[in-house]
Amino acid sequence: MPELSLGWHVVFESTAKATYGGRKGHPRHKDALTVISPALAALERRGVNSFGPGTACIEQPFHEEACPYGILGAAGVAFGCSVRIETSAGYISAGLLTGYDQMPAFNPGHWANRAEKNRRRGKPPPPSPVPELPQMGPVLWSFNPSFLTLLENRRAEDERKSAETTRALFPGRHTDAELAELARREVSERIAYARCMSWRASLPAKPPLIADADGGTELVELLEVEFGLHEDLASKLNAASDRPHREMFFWLTWLRSSAWRRLADPGLLPQRSPNVPAGITGLWVGCLLDKSHVLHWGRDTGWTRYPLPDPLLIPKFPGCARQHGAAERNA
């Protein structure tokens, strides 16, 4: 990689984003390493030698066009670090981070076509890749009080690191006071998120098995699985029993965008209502890769499509917005 002077070790979230523009040989095909190398070079020039969850704006859904974290995130890069080397050109070592929720769904039609082709050729059918029943059950993250205490104790150090990272990425963009305020907000939001994820009720020793859901799951079934995995979603809304509208918002990431495309491309609506917990009056569903519309379901109205404004009003985040601090203060 001639753009680089360091050796980079990066980890992709899954294989789904390892290439651009379709299969190899396609005129628009680009290898992901050639796409991310200029972004890594930009980080080198700004003195950044590692990044990951919680670093600057890498986890935000929207970025400025030239933001290196936006390019890396769009390629599916989750985290990375660099080491100094003696050669004149740098290199990229890529790994893959996969999980049961990120794997492609079993397509019975595709398998049936292959089996029929083998039958015509006098060959045995291919092994059926029907996935086994999930054994994980619901995955519930819980932060204990000692971890929250640790976050509070290292608050000052985390704020200092956050300010240094933003200063290195965007030199001259913010004053020292603005950097300190942005770092304070970022660390405070992280601690607040950990605090809200601290469970006060004991979890069951053997939770019931919940059906799996990935990008190939039909949209309504996917929503039902999410409610089964996260029982607290409904309980938190139902606590506001005096509210006439208790609605849940779901944003699908690229991992589950195929469930969205099955409806969005032909302009269809789901054929059935979801089986949601009692007390939930409605659902909003959107996809981060589709800025044209969102879907709404109500117990009385069923499914409805709502167009989004064009252009979509995109919020600004620290690291990508020059005037984020001033705009937020004015608001």
pLDDT 10s digits, 54-95: 666 766 667 777 788 888 888 888 888 888 887 778 888 887
Residue 3 backbone zone (phi > 0: left; psi -120 to 50: alpha; other: beta): alpha
Q: How much is the pLDDT for 135?
A: 39
Residues of the chain falling short of pLDDT 70: 14-29, 54-56, 58-61, 97-110, 128-145, 196-216, 264-266, 311-331
- Position 330 scores a pLDDT of 45
Rg (CA), the chain: 23
The token pair at 187 is 């660390």
pTM: 0.40
User: Is the Cβ–Cβ distance between 266 and 302 less than 8 Å?
Assistant: no
Residues 99, 215: contact at Cβ < 8 Å? no
What pLDDT is stored for residue 212 in this prediction?
67
User: How high is the pLDDT of residue 297?
Assistant: 95
| Residue 255: partners with Cβ closer than 8 Å, 6 or more residues away | 13, 14, 16, 101, 102, 214, 215
Assigned token pair, 326: 């001033």
The single-letter code of the amino acid at 223 is: L
User: What is the reported pLDDT for 192?
Assistant: 80
Q: Helices in the chain by DSSP H: which ranges?
A: 32-45, 68-74, 108-120, 145-153, 155-169, 176-196, 219-229, 232-238, 257-264, 324-330
Measured distance CA(21)–CA(14) in Å, rounded: 17
Q: What's residue 281's pLDDT?
A: 92
pLDDT (0 to 100) of residue 273: 92
For 161, half-sphere exposure in the C-beta direction (CA atoms, 13 angstrom radius) is: 13
Distances (CA, A) of 189 to 159, 195, 278: 12, 10, 31
